[in-house]
Amino acid sequence: MTLSIDDVSVQPRIAEPGEGISLEELALAARNHAMPLEALRYDVTPPGLHYVLNHYDIPYVDGDTWRLEIHGCVETPISLDLETLQDLPRHTVRVTMECAGNGRAYLSPRPVSQPWLTGAVGTSDWTGVRLADLLEDAGVTPEAVDLAFSGADHGVERGVEDDYRRGLSLSDATVPDVLVAYEMNGHPLPPQHGYPVRLVVPGWYGMAHVKWLCDIEVLDAPFHGFQNAVSYRLRTDPDQPGTPVTRIEPRALLVPPGFPDFMSRTRVVQVGEQVLEGRAWSGWGEVTRVEVTDDGTTWWDAEVEPSSSPHGWQRFTARWSARPGEHRLRVRAHDSSGRSQPMTPVWSRGGFANNAEDPLRVIVRD
C-alpha cells in the first residue's frame, strides 16, 4: 500500500462545543511561543521574548551559500549573496508584528489550529534593504501585478505540499518601509526569526513577513498560492471565497498588574491607587484613544503616548482606584482610521484577526 500526503495531512476543523485543547494543538503551542505580557513594558521586545510562529520546521540555512533571486517580470534578474545585500544602502524600521491568529483560542467554537491567547505580538528594530530599491535595480516591467515571496521552509498543509510562499501586490510591496531585513535589533536574525533574511511589511499581520526569504518572483497575474488564496482568508463558511487577511486590527493590552497565581494566572493587587500600563497598536493608523474598565460598564480614558516609530506600538498609562474584591480589567483601543476593538469576537473559520478585548481577572486585597 502506498501512502499519500492526504493520509497524513489534516483538514481544518472547528472544535466541538466543550472540546478541550488537543495534544496536537499543545505541540504547536509549545513550538510557537507567545510574548509574556509583562514584556509589554519594553518599547523594543528583548531577545527571545518576541513571539514566534513557524508553519513548518526552522530550516537550516547557510549564510555563506544563501542567495536571493529576483526574477520574472524584470529587465535584469538579480542574484544576491548576503555580503552584497549588506553593502547596499541600509534602513532601520521599528515594527510591531502580530500573528493574524492572535486571540484564536478565545473563539467559540474554536478553530483547531495554533491556540493563541493574546501574546502573539512583539516589536523589533529591523534593518535591511528597501525592497523598492532592489526592484528598481531589477527594473520591474509594466505587466507586473503581484510579487511572490518564497521561504526556504517546506511542508504540507491541508494536503497541499509547498514552500512557505506569500504574494503581495506591487503597490503594497513598493512602499518605502517594506524591507528585505538581515538584522533584528542590531544583530543577525536568529534562526527562528528568518536567518539570514526575511521580508518585513510594516502594518501587516505576521503571515506577510516571509522568513528565510530566498526567492522573489515578479508576476504578470495575481498570485494564487495556498497562503493567499486558501489560508489567511476571513470566511465563516468553508465554501465562501472569503476576504484576504491584510493589516493589523487595533488592540490594546495591559502589562498584567500585581503578581500572578501560578496555575490560574489570576492577578493579586494591593488595594488603593494604581497606575496601569500597557501598549496599543494598529496597522491602519495611529492609536488615538485607549479606554479602561474594571466592571464592563464604566470606562475611563488612558493617557496614550506617541509611538517611537510610525509602525510601532504606543505606550499608555491609566489610573485605577483598586477597591477590594474581584475585578475584570479590560482595555480597548481606537485608531485614526475609525476602527475600534469590538466587545465580542468577530468569528471566522481560520480564527483570524480576533481583536476583541480579553478581560484580566484581578483580586484586590486589603
Interacting residue ranges for ligand MTE, rule: CB under 6 A: 50-55, 97, 99, 151, 153, 164, 193, 206-207, 209-212
Terminal Cα distance for the chain, rounded: 69
Nearer to ligand MTE, 194 or 257 (CB): 194
Number of H helices, E strands in the chain: 6, 22
Q: Are 219 and 144 in contact (CB under 8 A)?
A: yes
Classify 23 in phi/psi space as left (phi over 0), alpha (psi -120 to 50) or beta: alpha
Residue 18, all three cell numbers:
466543550
Phi, then psi, of 290 in degrees rounded to 5? -130, 130
In the complex, least distance from residue 51 CB atom to ligand MTE, rounded to whole angstroms: 5
In the complex, least distance from residue 66 CB atom to ligand MTE, rounded to whole angstroms: 13
Residues 58 and 300: their CA atoms lie apart, in Å, by 44
In the complex, least distance from residue 163 CB atom to Mo ion, rounded to whole angstroms: 17
Nearer to Mo ion, 40 or 210 (CB): 210
CA neighbor of 211 nearest in space, from 68, 89, 83: 68
Nearer to ligand MTE, 212 or 320 (CB): 212
The residue with cell 482595555 is 331
- Please report which residue ranges of 216-266 form alpha helices under DSSP H: 226-229
The binder of 212, among ligand MTE, Mo ion, none, by C-beta within 5 to 8 A per type, is: ligand MTE
Task: Restricting to residues 180-219, name those near Mo ion by CB under 5 A.
Answer: 206-207
In the complex, least distance from residue 207 CB atom to Mo ion, rounded to whole angstroms: 5
Interacting residue with Mo ion among 53, 135, 152, 173 (CB under 5 A): 53
- The window from 31-39, 49-57, 140-148, 347-355 that contacts Mo ion (CB under 5 A) reads 49-57
**Which residue type does 115 have?**
P
The binder of 228, among Mo ion, ligand MTE, none, by C-beta within 5 to 8 A per type, is: none
- 99 counts as binding Mo ion under rule CB under 5 A: yes
Contact positions toward Mo ion, by CB under 5 A? 53, 99, 206-207
